[in-house]
Amino acid sequence: MPAIALYGLQAGLGLVVLSAGLAKLAGLDGMVQAFELLGLGGSARLTVGAIEVAAGLCLLLPRAGLVGALLLAGMVTLAAGGAIGQTLASAPHGAAGVSRLTVSQNSQPALCIRQCRPIQATFGAGRSWDI
């Protein structure tokens, strides 16, 4: 693959990351709700947004692409760790191996076309999910 194509992909990724970081810094509703859902405040959102803006700007410059990639890799690693930690922390106490999957009230109208009723599915060893 020619170097110009790699720089084009790098710049495209930089624009995506830059726009996501600017959305976090601007406080768009979707970004604020995502951080509130995770139990993180506005300071975490602003910190993540600033790091994403820095990574996006670095990715737009060919020679600073490695720095932007490292910043972005660190953010992805922290996000994965946060998601795993949040999942483990929200597990019911004293119920090892039991997980519950629910559909939020906001997404139910989008999922229910004709009739909406909860379906309970049981998967071995007493584990049940509301679908």
Residue 13: what are its φ and ψ, rounded to 5°? -65, -40
pLDDT tens for residues 74-94? 988 988 887 787 777 776 655
Provide the 8-state DSSP code for 28. Answer: -
User: With 80 as the cut, is the pLDDT of residue 125 above it?
Assistant: no
**Alpha helices for 27-98 (secondary structure H):** 29-37, 42-60, 65-89
User: With 70 as the cut, is the pLDDT of residue 117 above it?
Assistant: no
User: With 70 as the cut, is the pLDDT of residue 120 above it?
Assistant: no
Annotate 79-90 with b (16+ C-beta within 10 A) or e (fewer). Answer: eeeeeeeeeeee
What is the model's pTM?
0.63
